[in-house]
Chains A and B, each alone.
Chain A
């Protein structure tokens, strides 16, 4: 176990390191030092500011020193300075992260819950009308671009229902600590949107994996012992069928934390994805680089967690 952990974490570090090199090469080396300084200064940077940035980022030194300086800061948790807004990127990210986390975790509960439940029902009642409707619905939502679904919900619930109820706001965000009721109100449509487009994959995955598992010998054994069918399905079937679902969930949550971009833009949630798009519009390079590295970290960490969970959940997986 320890050996596996060490190897897996070392691997994750290598991936993160390689990602940092790629990001550095793309953003620093591509345009050349003067351009980088100008971009870091933002649209309104003065000559003095550009010279200061050139010095601060060690842009007047050889490439490897520039990289070491930048990567060293990253390691210390310093994502850099947002010269455009005059704050550190860490501050921007720290303000945005709770929004994204609220969005993603809430939606994840919905999409995993619905996906697994509908997948199990679909597999147990395989080829029934219910199964057909569930799988058709899954394909439908899978094909639906996030923003099309989001706008459809906004159109019906926020716009058309507005004479009846204003429970569904169009845009915005209220922090949980500030007003939990409003936090919920502002997040319900974003949750539904993100959950519905994501759940489709889980329905199909759970269904496929349940169908495979229910044909295993040990399921027949369990049945022949006279065990109740519901217990066979939940205890023996679902438990091993869940392994691929957990894998997918870990990866999806990791990815969404780094970039639930469309949902955040659509519903005006000031999370990390929204910050990224804002930074692109303002040509705010330090923020872009910071968010890119942070998303990469989310995904890589999620990958490691998934691999560990995998072994915990499925006793057949041997870590060494």
Chain B
């Protein structure tokens, strides 16, 4: 028995477990391991399939609208409104009923998915990019830079998200891109702290030292050497940021400072419906709410599974 066993196979054999014929021990990266675990997770598969369906419906919305023959903002004054001008319930022409403007809620719910998904994904990309840059900088450079960034985050966190977001929407007028920008920028603090923590724990390792000895500059070390090692964490929290961003966007639209009308948006639709459900128009409230709930639930379940796959030992999700 050598002091330094050369291959993994040797170790396994010494461990006593004979390998079944035809099977080799292969090295697996954490990514491969996580992917394997994720593939075996039934709930994750269902959540993922749900997300695929939602994305497809969002992509196909214009085609479905053309097939049904109702545009998202088209008003059906004669067929889509009750005698008193209120919304009408689901029927064979309007599957999800109509709103108070005689617009087809089925088509609008489909179009709402486009807004939610685009805002959710783009805002998450902004916050992840900012989080990576600030987290890497604070963690790697440390000292005064770290303190400065930490205090900046403290200031941002000192104002509740919605208060800050609606103030921003007050200063600059609400628009689609402003919502993405606000949601993205205001949620970078979370990934930033994760990345910072990770960087601090690995920046003293030998491979970073050797990179420095080879003459690599801080930028190279941060983005070429450190970044790939924190990427798994960033992805995990990224999948959990998407549903949060979708809810944030819907909340802003619900409060009237999100996506401006007449764009079909779930938060806006739910807010508009609030004036009608007491008169029995349940469909107006029901369909956009269920669509929003299914979407955030699917993303949260998938994010939860992705986190479990990368860190099977982990405790609570929101620690």
> Which A residues form the contact surface with B (CB < 8 A)?
14-16, 18-19, 22, 26-27, 30-31, 139-140, 142-148, 151-152, 154-155, 159, 170, 201, 204-209, 211-212, 244, 255-256, 258-259, 261-262, 265-266, 273, 276-277, 280-281, 283, 288, 291-292, 295-296, 299-300
Choose the segment among B31-39, B150-158, B185-193, B217-225 that binds chain A (4+ C-beta atoms closer than 8 Å): B150-158
CA–CA, A212 to B313, complex, Å? Answer: 10
Question: What is the 8 Å Cβ interface bit string for chain B, positions 236-278, against chain A (1 contact, 0 not)?
Answer: 0000000100010011001111000000000100110110011
> How close is A254's CB to chain B, nearest CB, in angstroms?
9
Specify which chain B residues have a CB less than 8 angstroms from the CB of A155 in the assembled complex: 277, 282, 285
Interface of A is mostly: helix
Q: Which residues of A contact B257 (CB under 8 A)?
A: 280
Q: List 30 A-B contacts (CB under 8 A).
A: A18-B155, A19-B159, A22-B155, A26-B167, A26-B171, A139-B297, A139-B301, A142-B300, A142-B318, A143-B243, A144-B297, A147-B250, A147-B270, A151-B273, A151-B285, A152-B289, A155-B277, A155-B282, A159-B277, A170-B278, A204-B318, A208-B319, A212-B315, A255-B160, A256-B160, A262-B251, A276-B163, A280-B167, A280-B169, A295-B163
Min CB–CB distance A8 → chain B (angstroms): 12
**For B158, what are the chain A residues with a Cβ–Cβ distance below 8 Å?**
15-16, 19, 296, 299-300
Taking a contact as CB atoms under 8 Å apart, the answer to whether A204 and B163 are in contact is no
Residues of B within 8 A of A258 (CB): 159-160, 163
Q: Tell me the smallest distance from the CB of A38 to a CB of chain B, in Å.
A: 14
B286 — nearest CB in chain A belongs to which residue?
A155
A265 contact from B255, B296, B316, Cβ within 8 A: B255
CA distance A15 to B150 in the complex (A): 10
Interface residues of B in 278-308 (CB under 8 A from A): 278, 282, 285, 289, 292-293, 296-297, 299-301, 304
The distance in angstroms between the C-alpha atoms of A206 and B160, with both chains bound, is: 24
Instruction: Kindly state whether residue B200 has any CB partner on chain A within 8 Å.
Output: no
Report the minimum CB–CB distance from B99 to chain A (whole Å): 15
Q: Which residues of B are in contact with A by a Cβ distance under 8 Å?
A: 151, 154-155, 157-164, 166-167, 169-171, 243, 247, 250-251, 254-257, 267, 270-271, 273-274, 277-278, 282, 285, 289, 292-293, 296-297, 299-301, 304, 314-319
Minimum CB–CB distance for B157 against chain A, Å: 7
Q: How far is the CA of A256 from the CA of B160 in the complex (A)?
A: 8
Taken together as a complex, chains A and B put the C-alpha atoms of A266 and B289 apart, in Å, by: 14
| Docked-complex contact A205 and B155, CB < 8 angstroms | no
Residue of B nearest to A204 (CB): B316
* With A26-B167, A147-B254, A280-B170 already in contact, 10 other A-B pairs whose C-beta atoms are closer than 8 Å: A14-B151, A31-B171, A139-B297, A140-B297, A143-B296, A147-B267, A170-B278, A262-B162, A292-B163, A299-B159
Please tell me if the beta carbons of A288 and B250 are within 8 angstroms of each other in the complex. no
Least CB distance, A276 to chain B, in whole angstroms: 6
Cα–Cα, bound, A212→B316 (Å): 10
Given contacts A244-B319, A280-B257, contact A295 B300 (CB under 8 A): no
Chain B residue, CB-CB nearest to A291: B163
Closest A residue, CB atoms, query B295: A143
| Interchain CB contact under 8 A, B316 and A208 | yes
Residues of B within 8 A of A296 (CB): 158-159
Residue of chain A at shortest CB distance from B288: A148
Q: Which of B167, B271, B299 meets A292, CB within 8 Å?
A: B167
Evaluate contact between A148 and B293: CB separation under 8 angstroms: yes
Note all chain B residues with C-beta closer than 8 A to A170. 278
Q: Which residues of B contact A201 (CB under 8 A)?
A: 318
Q: Is the CB of A139 within 8 A of B255?
A: no
CB-CB < 8 A to A300: which residues of B?
158
Q: Report the Cα distance A144→B299, complex, angstroms.
A: 12
- Please, which residue of chain B has its CB at the minimum distance from the CB of A259? B160
Q: Which residue of A lies closest to B300 (CB)?
A: A143
Q: Which residues of A contact B318 (CB under 8 A)?
A: 142, 201, 204-205
Q: Tell me the nearest residue of chain A to B170, going by C-beta.
A: A280
Q: Which of B151, B254, B267, B319 contacts A15 (CB 8 A)?
A: B151
CA distance A212 to B314 in the complex (A): 10
What residues of chain B lie closer than 8 Å to A281, measured between beta carbons? 256
| Residues in chain B near residue A152, CB distance under 8 A | 289
B255 x A205 contact (CB < 8 A): no
Chain B, residue nearest A26 (CB): B171
Q: Tell me which residues across on chain A come within 8 A of B271, comparing CB atoms.
A: 147
- Bound together, the chains give a CA A145 to CA B289 distance in angstroms of 9
Q: Are B255 and A277 in contact (CB under 8 A)?
A: yes
Contacting residues, chain A, for B317 (C-beta < 8 A): 139, 204, 208
Please, which residues of chain B bring their CB within 8 A of the CB of A273? Answer: 162
Residues of A within 8 A of B171 (CB): 26-27, 30-31
Q: B188 CB to closest chain A CB, in angstroms?
A: 16
Cα(A152)–Cα(B318), bound, Å: 25
Nearest chain A CB to B181's CB is how many angstroms away? 14
Contact of B250 with A145 in the complex, beta carbons under 8 Å = yes
Question: In the assembled complex, which residues on chain B have CB atoms less than 8 Å from the CB atom of A262?
Answer: 162, 251, 254-255
Question: Which of the residues A144, A147, A204, A299 comes within 8 Å of B160, measured between beta carbons?
Answer: A299
| Residues of chain B lying within 8 A (CB to CB) of residue A151 | 270, 273-274, 277, 285, 289
CB distance from B301 to the nearest CB of A (A): 7
Who on chain A is nearest to B298 by CB?
A: A143
Q: How far is the CA of A276 from the CA of B166 in the complex (A)?
A: 9
The docked-state distance in angstroms from the alpha carbon of A22 to that of B304 is 36
Which residues of chain B have C-beta atoms less than 8 A from A18's C-beta?
A: 151, 154-155
A209 contacts B300, CB within 8 Å?
no
- Cα separation A16 to B155 with both chains bound (whole Å): 7
Is the beta-carbon distance between B157 and A299 smaller than 8 angstroms? yes
CB neighbours (8 Å) of B299 from chain A are: 143
Contacts of B167 in A (CB 8 A): 26-27, 280, 288, 292
Residues of B within 8 A of A295 (CB): 159-160, 163
Q: How far is the CA of A88 from the CA of B23 in the complex (A)?
A: 79
Closest to B297 in A: A143
